[in-house]
Amino acid sequence: MNLKPGDKVTYIKDGKQQKGIVKHTIKTDDYCPEHVVRVVYHCNEDWNNYSNYTGIATNITDLKLGWDDDKPKGSLLQRLCNRDKYYNFICDFNYH
């Protein structure tokens, strides 16, 4: 997995999940293998300012790219209705 700063990730270990954002990759040396990145976890939901928080060294094998709650919710028609005036007309016709 090629991660870069700003990527949203989900930490998954022992059945627990935690949202995070990659702060930076760690230069490979004897103490930090290349499969480790620094991830910001608890930042009081202040994700836009994640770079102001401390990143925790995390093994990438415990990470999944993305957050589950970022996936679109609802049917395609419902999502289009929320986005586009043309589809709002169709939604009004179908739902009322």
pLDDT digits (tens, 9 = 90+) for 8-40: 999 998 888 999 999 988 765 555 556 789 999
Indicate the domain borders of the chain: 1-65, 70-96
The CATH class of the 1-65 domain is mainly beta
State both tokens at 80: 């289009």
Per the listing, tokens 């993305």 go with 66
37-65 pLDDT, tens digit each:
999 998 888 999 999 999 999 988 899 99
Contacts of 15 (CB under 8 A, 6+ apart): none
pLDDT in tens, 69-96: 766 555 555 555 555 555 455 555 544 4
DSSP-derived secondary structure letter, 67: -
The pTM for the full model equals 0.66
Q: Are 54 and 40 in contact (CB under 8 A)?
A: yes
Of 32, 52, 39, the C-alpha closest to 13 is 39
> What is the pLDDT, as a whole number, of residue 30?
54
